Structures are given as structure tokens and as C-alpha cells.
């Protein structure tokens, strides 16, 4: 039962928190490295508002990056999927580029776009766009052509075939690409804020690290995880609303 | 038993193939899949095409359907040359039903009408009555993932009929089913055919199935693909399983078997 | 379209991009202070490679990467292999493992600094942590990829444990081991560079970040170019080895 599983998970969580707090109180753990639930709580009380407004900034950057990465990534994947020549030319280049640690491009973005949200949005977009494009490409390529033949036999126009037959068939692969890409976008945005910015969750994490406020650092990390969780949950919602309509064999 | 039909389309012929050839590739790599295929099918007939693998029977069907262009020669459907799919006249069914997994059975049957933007109030009852015809009225709201192979093929048949075509082209639709289901589906198909009076062109590599279902059997040869001979099946309708054991059935079957055997070389 | 044609188009594409870069920068279509000409960057790179201090930083970074790889590779793979062989244990730990894999570990970087400072050790531990779970998963997959039938057959011939591991397991797992190596490399490189950029006394990551802050674009681009070239080369080298080994294996 789902309720039971939820309560078990909640119980485990509370247990972990209790053990954590007691270890802190007993002086077993270094407070600088490990903090404690109470420290995080007091950090929230003290700097809660700052963090919340920073959260808004970060979510904005994430949302913008998602907008760009999703649309460009999917568009590219679809176009390359229906033009095998384009795919053959681009795919090796793209998969070679995956080896590059994207973080090294960040100083260039900073120099060009400054410390503000723009560099974070661009960095987030770059971080997430590759898995989205690649997964979309694979999803489109692996569609059984028979569906298209069948639809053509029924007299469907090219447009109808693409949007009413091929697109839904490619959707599961696209969604898994979006899942991975979105996670990378969130991390990319937060990391870029941590490295250099003027606001956002990452900025405040770095700020409090500098003055050894472990509670605030953990609070910031927690909020970053929450941001990732929100993005993931939103994606699951979209996926659930869609796969609700399919039978068992549509979702591998 | 008569020999190959003449090329001139007679009145009442719904499909005529005139010197249809299909070549894939070019130069020394050219593959002559079909050479000078000529035959006609009378409206309302159930015709089967049988032959060894590689004889081009599926290619022929795709050409008849307008999905693949012929390299030379032409196909006339109802007097008009075929230049592309004409779903109001011809419906095609394949070995894989290719039902859209995210649509229910009835939504799949309606799909050709949905593409034509036919309003729901018109297409729903039509789809429903066809599902009823194939015996799946109760599964209308099930998804393909919940249906068996035979049921999926039946939905596909209903979908083929929803645009009220004159001709049903079928490319080994029951090949993926086990023997019992195949026989059952064959009988189902005959029942539906008799009810609706459409013309059926049925491609198969099973001899027994080809003779059992048909009014006429076209036997194809391989390398190059062409029609070697055609036979009328004089068995009475409605067909029943025990006809398969009869002497005339056996004789016809042997003749065709030898023909194909010689072809395979 | 033949393979040669595709290769040709790729080369032309890359060459024209390089040409465009050079032209745009030299002719002032883009601000050459923001995007220096490619030839200038390559020139700077050559100069840097002859500089002792730069070479020192390079060595430090490479040392951190090599050390991290040497730790996470055997450790992670062994752990994964052990789990793969002991299904019950794997099943018990699987939810925890997947949870840890799903949590983005890079945002915990400030904590690593609290715990280990900003020296060599911190880079090592951080990179190992980033790569660890991927390698474990890879080890599990590798263990599970060995066809049980082969092991049974070998045992029936009286093969010893050692012989089975050497002659059956190792060859069977080779493709996954190579792929795991490639993944570990990508993650350790990313981890080391990220940690260096965030805070370090020496290292290539720190260098390029500093150059960016000082708007020394030619040096920045030289460093980025070097990193991009080396990472792509390393990745493609392992891919190449994987391909060769795969074609030798044939049907295994």
C-alpha cells in the first residue's frame, strides 16, 4: 500500500534525523563538516528570507534554461531523427563532445555574460541539452516505420503522420532524455551560482561557506535538492498524465 | 482449372494489373522483384496470392495499394490508375496490426476517420458497429496492450473497413498467429467478407490457407517474381474445415505445391 | 551516402567553424578581446606548454585525476562486482544505492572543503565520490553480464575458481570494464576540474578560472582548448579500443 510505504519512509527519515542530532549533541561528529538538524533549523530561522528569495532567482534561471534546452534539444533531435543523413553527420560529433567537462566553459561564459543570471541560464542550458537531443534522436530513429506505412495507407498526410503517430511513439524516449537533461540543468545552474554569481541558492551557499556557517550551507544544499525534486516531480506529472492513456506495452 | 487471366479489364473487374514490373536498384546491382505481372480481380471476389519467399508478393501488394510505385506498367482500381494511397477505395492490412498503443480499440478503429476530421458523433457509432461485426464490441475501451494477437488483428480488420473501401488488401495478416488461431481468424474473415461483400486480395505463403479462403488462387514464382498460374477454387461456400481433407482440395494443393517446388529449384 | 562522405562533411564542418572563428575574430566581426583568433590561442597554448609553472599545474591536475581513477576504479568495480555476484545483498542495498546515485553529489562540494580543505586530498576524495556510484553500477552490470551457462559449463570441466575468473569472467566482462573506465574518466575529470575551479592553490582548473576573472582571454581559451582536446582524445581512444575489442570478439 502506498500510504504504508510513505509512512515507513517518513519513519526512516525521522530516525535518521534523530540519530544525526544526537550524534551532534554527543560531540561525535565535527559540527563544521556534518552540521545537525537543529543547526539547519536555526539557519533557516536566521536567514530564511534571504534563502527564499534566492530560491526564486535560482528557479527562474532553471526555468529559463529548461525552456531553451527542452525546445532546442527536442527540435534538433526530431529533425536529426527524420533526416538520417543529419544524424549520421552529427551523432559522432555530439557523442565526442560529451567527454568534455562543461564546467571548463563556464569562465568563458562569465567573461562574456557577466556574473548575472544570464551566464547561469546559458550554462544550465548547455549542461542539459545533450542528453535531451540525443535521447530524442534515438527515440525518433527507433520508431517502427511500419506505423508510418500503416498511417500512409489510411491516407494520412505527412503532417498527420508526424504529429499524430510518430510523435507519441517517440515520447517515452524523449521523456527519459528530459529527465536526465533537467537534472543536469538544475545542478548546472546551482554549481555555476556557487562558482561565481550575485544571487541565487549557489551564491549564498558559497557565501556562508566562506564564513563557516555550516547550517546555512546545508540549508542551501537542501534547497538545491528541493529544486531538483520539484523539476523531477513536474516531469513525472507530465509523464503520468500522458502514459495514463496508454496500455501496458507502450512503456517499456 | 483455368490459366492466367487476360490483360483486358472486363466489366466488373475492380483491380487490374497491367504488365507491372518493379526493379530495385540499378545497373548490375538491379533486383528485378516483379516482372510483367498481369491479372485482374472481379469485384466481390476473394483472391489469394501464394508463392515462395522472395517472390515479391508483398511488393506486389504494396504496389496495388499505391504505397510503392511500379517501375513500369500500371494498376487500375475501379478503372482509375493508381498513383498513391486511396483509402476510400483500398484498405491495407499487414502482419503487424500496428495499432496505436495510446489509443483504445475503438479509437484505433476510428483513426482513419479522425484523420479526415469526421465528427465524433458520426465516426463513433460506425466504429462501434464494426467492432461488433468482428466480435469485439465488449473490448472497445481496451488498449492494444491488453489485447491478444488475434484480437489485435480483428481490430485491424475493423479499422480497414471503417472507411468503407471497395477492396481489402491483406499481407499475411495471420502469419504471426498460432495454427488454431489462424484457422479461426480465417473463418472469421470469410464470415466478414460474406457479410460486407468487399473484394479481398490476400497474400500468404500457406498453401492450405490460400486454397481454403479463396475463389481464385494466383501462384507466383520467384527470380524473377511473376504470376505463373492461377486456379479457380470450385469448392462450395460457406467453406468448412473438413473440405481440406477432400480429394479435390488435395489434388489442387499438390499441383500448386509442385509448381512452387519447381520454381524454388 | 557512404561513410567517407559523412566523414568528409564532418571535417568540412569543423574546418569551416575554425575558419569562421579565425575570420570573425581577425576582422573584428566579434570583439577580439572577447574571442581571440584561433591562431593566437594556439600560439599562446604552445608558449604555455613550455612554461614550467604551467606544466607544474598541469601535472598536479593530471596527478589528481590519475590518483582518483586509481582509487575509484578498483574500489568501485570490486564493490559493484561483489554486489552483482551476491543478488540478495544487492536487492537489499539497491534502493539505497539508487537513491545515492540520484542525489547530485557535486553540490556537496563546500562540505568537502570543510572536511578536507582545498588541497590534493580534497580533490581526490571529491572526484572519487562523484565517480564512485557510476563505477559500482558498472561493476554490478559487469558481474551480471557473464552468462551463467558458461560458468556452469566451465565448472563441469573441472575448472578451478581462479581459472573461471581469469578465463571466463574477465573476457566476458571486458566490454563493460572498458565502458566503466570511460565513464569513470569522464566523472573524475569533471570532479577534479570543478573542485579546482571552486578553490585550489594550483591546478589547471584554478588557472583558467583565475584567467577568466582577470579577463585574460587568450590564456583562458588556451587552457580550455587544451582541456577539450585532451578529454575528447582520451574518450575517443578508449572508444577506439572498445571498438577494436568488440570486432575481435564477434558474437560473444
SS3 per-residue string spanning A183-247:
HHHHHHHHHHHHHCCCCCHHHHHHHHHHCCCHHHHHHHHHHHHHHHHHHHHHHHHHHHHHHCCCC
| B interface with A, Cβ–Cβ below 8 Å | 65, 67, 85-88, 91-92, 94, 96, 98, 100-103, 111-112, 115-116, 142-146, 159, 163
pLDDT value of position A245: 52
pLDDT of C249 over the 90 cut: no
Residues A221, C231: C-beta atoms closer than 8 Å: no
Instruction: Count residue pairs from A and C with Cβ separation < 8 A.
Output: 117
pLDDT of A246 over the 60 cut: no
Domains and their CATH numbers in chain A: 47-250 (1.10.3720.10)
* B177/B72 same-domain check: yes
Residues C107, A100: C-beta atoms closer than 8 Å: no
Tens of pLDDT, residue by residue over A14-50, are 998 898 888 888 888 888 888 888 888 888 888 889 9
Domain that holds residue B108: 92-164
Number of domains in chain C: 1
Residues of C in contact with A85 (CB under 8 A): 1, 6
pLDDT value of position A1: 66
* B160/B171 same-domain check: no
- What CATH number corresponds to the domain at position C80? 1.10.3720.10
* B135/B78 same-domain check: no
Residues of A in contact with C207 (CB under 8 A): none
Q: Residue A193 carries which DSSP code?
A: H
Tens of pLDDT, residue by residue over B153-165, are 999 999 999 988 8
* B136/B195 same-domain check: no
Average pLDDT over residues A134-160: 87
Closest chain A CA to residue B85: A153
* B54/B109 same-domain check: no
Tens of pLDDT, residue by residue over B169-195, are 999 999 888 888 888 889 989 998 988
- What CATH number corresponds to the domain at position B259? 3.40.50.300
pLDDT value of position A251: 34
Average pLDDT over residues B101-109: 91
Residues C107, A214: C-beta atoms closer than 8 Å: no
Residues of C in contact with A210 (CB under 8 A): none
Q: Single out the residue of C111, C122, C110 nearest to residue A33, CA to CA.
A: C111
ipTM given for this complex: 0.88
Position C7 in a domain: no
Taking the CA of residue A111 and the nearest CA in chain C, the distance in Å comes to 6
* B179/B125 same-domain check: no
Tens of pLDDT, residue by residue over C206-222, are 999 999 999 999 999 99
Tens of pLDDT, residue by residue over A90-100, are 888 888 888 89
Position C43 in a domain: yes
Q: Which of B164, B197, B217 is the last residue of a domain?
A: B164
Residues C114, A32: C-beta atoms closer than 8 Å: yes
Q: Residue C252 carries which DSSP code?
A: -
Most confident range (mean pLDDT) of A151-165, B216-230, B232-246, C119-133 is C119-133
Position C17 in a domain: no
Q: Which residues pair with B32 in a beta bridge?
A: B23
pLDDT of C1 over the 80 cut: no
Number of domains in chain B: 2
Mean pLDDT of chain C: 90
Residues B127 and B163: beta-carbon distance below 8 Å: no
* B35/B142 same-domain check: no
Alpha helix positions (H), B9-104: 57-65
Q: Single out the residue of B159, B168, B213, B211 nearest to residue B186, CA to CA.
A: B213
* B63/B184 same-domain check: yes
Q: Which of B164, B185, B201 is the last residue of a domain?
A: B164
Q: Which of A153, A165, A248 lies closest to B85 in CB terms?
A: A153
pLDDT higher at A31 or B2 = A31
* B144/B176 same-domain check: no
Domain that holds residue C50: 37-249
* B178/B81 same-domain check: yes
pLDDT value of position A28: 81
| C interface with A, Cβ–Cβ below 8 Å | 1, 6, 9-10, 13-14, 34, 103-104, 106-111, 113-115, 186, 189-190, 193-194, 197-198, 205, 208-209, 211-213, 215, 217, 220-221, 223-224, 227-228, 231-232, 234-236
Average pLDDT over residues C172-178: 89
Neighboring chains of C (3 or more beta-carbon pairs < 8 A): A
* B78/B130 same-domain check: no
Q: Which of B149, B164, B179 is the last residue of a domain?
A: B164
pLDDT value of position A250: 37
Average pLDDT over residues B71-81: 87
Strand pairing report for B226-232 and B31-42:
unpaired
* B80/B153 same-domain check: no
Amino acid at each position: 500500500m502506498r500510504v504504508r510505504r510513505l509512512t515507513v519512509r517518513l519513519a526512516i527519515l525521522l530516525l535518521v534525523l534523530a540519530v544525526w542530532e544526537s550524534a551532534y549533541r554527543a560531540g561525535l561528529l565535527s559540527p563544521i563538516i556534518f552540521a545537525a538538524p537543529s543547526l539547519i533549523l536555526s539557519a533557516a530561522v536566521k536567514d530564511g528570507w534571504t534563502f527564499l528569495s534566492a530560491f526564486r532567482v535560482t528557479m527562474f534561471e532553471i526555468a529559463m534554461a529548461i525552456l531553451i534546452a527542452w525546445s532546442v534539444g527536442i527540435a534538433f533531435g526530431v529533425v536529426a531523427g527524420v533526416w538520417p543523413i543529419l544524424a549520421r553527420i552529427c551523432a559522432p560529433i555530439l557523442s565526442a563532445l560529451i567527454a568534455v567537462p562543461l564546467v571548463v566553459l563556464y569562465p568563458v561564459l562569465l567573461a562574456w555574460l557577466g556574473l548575472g543570471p544570464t551566464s547561469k541560464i546559458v550554462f544550465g542550458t548547455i549542461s542539459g541539452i545533450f542528453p535531451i537531443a540525443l535521447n530524442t534522436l534515438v527515440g525518433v530513429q527507433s520508431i517502427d516505420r511500419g506505423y508510418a506505412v500503416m498511417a500512409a495507407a489510411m491516407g494520412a498526410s505527412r503532417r498527420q503522420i508526424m504529429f499524430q503517430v510518430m510523435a507519441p511513439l517517440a515520447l517515452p524516449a524523449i521523456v527519459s532524455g528530459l529527465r536526465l537533461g533537467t537534472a543536469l540543468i538544475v545542478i548546472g545552474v546551482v554549481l555555476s551560482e556557487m562558482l561565481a554569481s550575485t544571487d541565487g541558492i549557489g551564491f549564498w551557499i558559497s557565501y556562508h561557506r566562506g564564513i563557516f556557517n555550516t547550517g546555512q550551507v546545508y540549508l542551501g544544499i537542501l534547497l538545491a535538492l528541493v529544486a531538483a525534486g520539484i523539476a523531477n516531480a513536474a516531469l513525472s506529472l507530465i509523464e503520468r498524465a500522458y502514459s495514463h492513456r496508454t496500455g501496458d506495452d507502450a512503456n517499456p | 482449372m483455368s490459366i492466367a487471366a487476360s490483360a483486358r479489364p472486363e466489366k466488373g473487374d475492380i483491380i487490374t494489373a497491367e504488365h507491372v514490373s518493379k526493379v530495385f536498384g540499378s545497373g548490375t546491382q538491379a533486383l528485378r522483384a516483379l516482372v510483367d505481372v498481369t491479372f485482374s480481380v472481379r469485384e466481390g471476389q476473394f483472391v489469394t496470392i501464394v508463392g515462395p519467399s522472395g517472390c515479391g508478393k508483398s511488393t506486389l501488394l504494396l504496389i496495388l495499394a499505391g504505397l510503392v510505385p511500379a517501375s513500369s506498367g500500371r494498376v487500375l482500381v475501379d478503372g482509375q490508375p493508381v498513383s498513391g494511397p486511396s483509402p476510400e477505395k483500398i484498405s491495407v492490412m499487414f502482419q503487424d496490426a500496428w495499432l496505436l498503443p495510446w489509443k483504445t480499440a475503438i479509437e484505433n478503429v476510428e483513426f482513419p476517420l479522425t484523420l479526415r476530421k469526421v465528427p465524433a458523433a458520426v465516426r463513433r457509432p460506425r466504429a462501434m458497429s464494426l467492432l461488433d461485426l468482428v466480435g469485439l464490441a465488449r473490448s472497445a475501451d481496451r488498449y492494444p496492450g491488453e489485447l491478444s494477437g488475434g484480437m489485435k488483428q480483428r481490430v485491424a480488420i475493423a479499422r480497414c473497413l471503417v472507411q468503407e473501401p471497395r477492396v481489402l488488401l491483406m499481407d499475411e495478416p495471420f502469419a504471426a498467429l498460432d495454427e488454431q488461431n489462424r484457422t479461426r481468424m480465417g473463418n472469421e474473415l470469410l464470415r466478414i467478407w460474406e457479410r460486407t461483400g468487399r473484394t479481398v486480395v490476400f497474400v500468404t505463403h500457406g498453401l492450405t490457407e490460400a486454397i481454403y479462403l479463396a475463389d481464385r488462387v494466383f501462384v507466383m514464382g520467384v527470380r524473377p517474381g511473376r504470376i505463373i498460374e492461377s486456379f479457380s477454387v470450385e469448392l462450395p461456400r460457406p467453406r468448412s474445415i473438413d473440405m481440406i481433407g477432400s480429394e479435390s482440395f488435395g489434388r489442387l494443393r499438390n499441383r500448386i505445391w509442385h509448381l512452387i517446388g519447381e520454381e524454388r529449384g | 551516402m557512404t561513410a567517407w562522405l559523412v566523414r568528409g562533411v564532418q571535417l568540412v564542418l569543423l574546418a569551416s567553424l575554425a575558419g569562421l572563428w579565425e575570420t570573425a575574430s581577425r576582422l573584428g566581426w566579434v570583439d577580439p578581446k572577447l574571442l581571440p583568433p584561433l591562431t593566437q590561442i594556439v600560439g599562446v597554448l604552445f608558449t604555455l606548454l613550455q612554461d614550467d609553472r604551467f606544466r607544474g599545474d598541469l601535472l598536479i591536475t593530471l596527478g589528481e585525476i590519475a590518483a582518483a581513477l586509481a582509487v575509484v576504479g578498483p574500489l568501485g568495480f570490486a564493490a559493484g562486482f561483489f554486489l552483482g555476484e551476491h543478488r540478495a545483498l544487492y536487492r537489499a542495498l539497491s534502493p539505497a544505492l539508487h537513491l545515492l546515485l540520484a542525489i547530485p553529489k557535486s553540490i556537496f562540494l563546500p562540505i568537502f572543503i570543510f572536511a578536507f580543505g582545498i588541497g590534493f586530498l580534497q580533490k581526490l576524495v571529491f572526484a572519487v565520490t562523484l565517480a564512485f556510484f557510476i563505477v559500482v553500477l558498472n561493476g554490478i552490470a559487469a558481474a551480471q553480464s557473464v552468462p551463467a551457462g558458461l560458468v556452469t559449463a566451465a565448472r563441469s570441466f573441472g575448472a578451478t575458481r581462479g581459472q573461471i575468473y581469469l578465463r571466463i569472467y574477465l573476457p566476458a566482462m571486458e566490454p563493460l570494464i572498458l565502458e566503466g573506465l570511460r565513464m569513470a574518466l569522464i566523472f573524475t575529470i569533471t570532479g577534479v576540474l570543478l573542485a579546482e575551479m571552486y578553490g585550489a592553490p594550483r591546478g589547471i582548473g584554478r588557472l583558467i578560472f583565475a584567467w577568466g576573472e582577470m579577463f585574460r582571454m587568450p590564456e583562458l581559451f588556451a587552457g580550455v582548448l587544451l582541456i577539450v582536446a585532451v578529454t575528447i582524445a582520451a574518450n575517443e581512444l578508449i572508444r577506439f579500443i572498445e571498438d577494436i575489442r568488440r570486432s575481435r570478439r564477434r558474437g560473444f
